[in-house]
Chains A and B, each alone.
Chain A
């Protein structure tokens, strides 16, 4: 009974939306499967806002191969099982492009589910566009033709962080502090490996793990960093774990650079504020200077409209999808996927290439540091990240172990 009612409801909704759009070309729809409710929505909502914002602009330019782009949000509460239910819902709704970023556990679930779906339904393929799950294995041993990653993975970012450390002779002692789960361990391991290679004289004076999201008071960890006399700290922490870490560091006067992956997660700048200035460094695809006036204008418009900051790589991902669709002259996932292999695109941060070998985007990276009185502040404050160093895509690149199996 219940199901029948739902069906009826769904059918009538489809009919209604169908009627409204009969005049236009059929839209190409992208599903965003990310946390959109609950405490973790802080990482999903900005992506949704960015996608909708960019889609609006791209649709004015004709959409993807003449089809208007439509973004549909599916809330997974950052739970892998729930993500699979939402994936099935999205596929049922006729969506063939799945976007996800937050949480490697969700990414892992989606990756294996989409692979199986495409294998079991050869006439009905789905693409997985990943904008933030940066577990290296997704484009190495677990690489898949159906998965495209639009962010540099952990090792690539660490490659640049360690390059920067290696070039600076003042850095002699490095402290690693990470969350005690797979991502944190990956960060720590690759930091140790690369530092040993690039600067054997550097001493790792600490390699601490703390449980994910359970620490309320970071002062003991900060005491440890302080007594180790570290010159630089590397951390993959995100969410509350980075906010509290930085706040504690400021309070105890630990004035060394904290090299972070997620210093710009929404909320961090509000929380950290002046305590992060000249302390929090960020490795990312862009910086907060917004040297490109067009992007700066979009940042202002997006914040005014939706209350979230500009998310450059999410914008670039959608722009790239549109360009690839235009070039392929199709919105069929297989055709678009084939075009995307080796596809090149110029985005805000520089020249992007989707490497065909492993579907890992090759992109320039920026190291930036939090500053006050920036022209374009983040989260409505005056703080934002100011560029410190720029790395070309060739410099950031790493070889892959991927042996891609392609469909016929």
Chain B
């Protein structure tokens, strides 16, 4: 692998990211867009921390939200302490800026992972998946029983406009929070990337690939898994801390199975094998989750289908696809391979269109109305065979293009 990059090559992705983060506020003005971007930032950290476990350590977890949620709870309780300390300006918390709360989240998440992790890390694989599932269910159900800590159903709420303000960085509007999110997401991504370069990060890959061998050469896999588990818990907690500042409320839902499933969804859609895969996944899934339901009532089904399609047809994820294009460009083969790929993309698009049309038509049949059709101003008649013929034509065209481009690709390679 290209361990020895020229310094500029190694720096380029970070400089570009920084540039993108600086340019976004120039393009975006609405608070709503900012709040979605803030959510994306939180989810990027969450998804990447999840990938430390699954992609790098080979540990499939169904309880990662526990650490995310506990980090958020830790941060929001401290935020309340800061608020209370602000009345008389005394004590440690009176001098603690809200900007640094993700650190509290990190500490809480890592501590929680440290406390529960050891017995979990004996095995990877199914045993680990099941035990984290149990942990997730237990913590989510238990959180309803301790209202003083978790705030019951209503959750714990707070106000982020408290404590000392550094460099005039207020946190009033979502646009102000953007800078906060941008700062922390860049820092966290960098830290997690750096983690993959440490000996521990490398060892975690080895544990994933061949735990037995590692045991033989004197590194007990359990210790390594445990360390990775703590680090992943810490970064999930950091994401939780960001969420606490962003929303100013934390509810028990954030600890639950659905939130854990979201992390898995984002990481797998983005791609487990590439470092930036989960970033792509977090962006795509968050946007789909928040915006799709404005246009269709079947939004959850679409998210599920995208996930299923990625698992079946692109096991390397969207990030893996990007990586493939990048590699081919580096080798100077892009112009040769691009037409075949574009053909594939067209066929996917056609089939997806056919699928969307048939789902929305079924929806109209069963519910008597369809949001997407309304949004687009269309009035298709689901009982007319012509409409369905169109759908079949889309599928057929998609299949045809897929076959053709596959042949093309095989002929060229």
Q: Which residues of chain A have a CB within 8 Å of any CB of chain B?
A: 2-4, 6-7, 36-38, 41, 74-75, 77, 79-82, 84-86, 88-93, 103-105, 107-109, 112-113, 116, 120-121, 135, 180-183, 185, 211-212, 214, 307
Contact = CB atoms under 8 A, between A and B. Distances in A.
B32 A3 contact: no
Contact of A80 (B31, B144, B155, B368): B155
Contacts of B159: 116
Contacts of B32: 85, 88-93
B153 A109 contact: no
Contacts of B81: none
Interface of B: 24, 27-28, 30-37, 39, 141, 144-145, 147, 152-155, 157, 159, 161, 172-174, 243, 247-249, 251-254, 258, 283, 287, 289-291, 293-294, 297-300, 367-368
B33 A105 contact: no
Nearest to A75: B293
B155 A91 contact: no
A81 B243 contact: yes
A79 B253 contact: yes
A6 B24 CA distance: 13
A269 to B, nearest CB: 20
Contact of A182 (B27, B33, B153, B297): B153
Nearest to B299: A37
Contacts of A77: 293
Given A80-B155, A104-B154, A307 B30 contact: no
Given A3-B24, A181-B153, A109 B251 contact: yes
Given A92-B30, A212-B144, A3 B248 contact: no
Nearest to A9: B291
Name which of A88, A104, A211 has the most chain B CB atoms within 10 A of its CB.
A88
A105 B154 contact: yes
A121 B147 CA distance: 32
A37 B298 contact: yes
Name which of B28, B153, B172 has the most chain A CB atoms within 10 A of its CB.
B153
24 contacts: A3-B33, A37-B297, A37-B299, A37-B300, A41-B297, A74-B294, A80-B155, A81-B247, A85-B36, A85-B290, A88-B31, A88-B174, A89-B32, A90-B32, A91-B32, A109-B155, A109-B247, A109-B249, A120-B161, A120-B172, A121-B173, A214-B141, A307-B367, A307-B368
A211 B24 CA distance: 44
Nearest to B256: A79
Contact of B27 (A3, A86, A91): A3
A75 B299 contact: yes
Given A7-B33, A88-B32, A93-B32, 15 more contacts: A3-B27, A41-B297, A80-B247, A80-B253, A81-B247, A81-B253, A82-B289, A85-B290, A89-B35, A104-B154, A108-B153, A182-B154, A211-B144, A214-B141, A307-B367
Nearest to B176: A120
B248 A112 contact: yes
A211 B141 CA distance: 7
Contact of A2 (B173, B254, B283): B283
Contact of B39 (A3, A85, A116): A85
User: Which 6 A/B pairs are nearest by Cβ-Cβ distance?
Assistant: A92-B32, A182-B152, A75-B293, A108-B154, A88-B35, A89-B32
Name which of A81, A121, A180 has the most chain B CB atoms within 10 A of its CB.
A81
Contacts of B287: 2
A68 B174 CA distance: 31
Contacts of A81: 39, 243, 247, 249, 251, 253-254
A181 B298 CA distance: 30
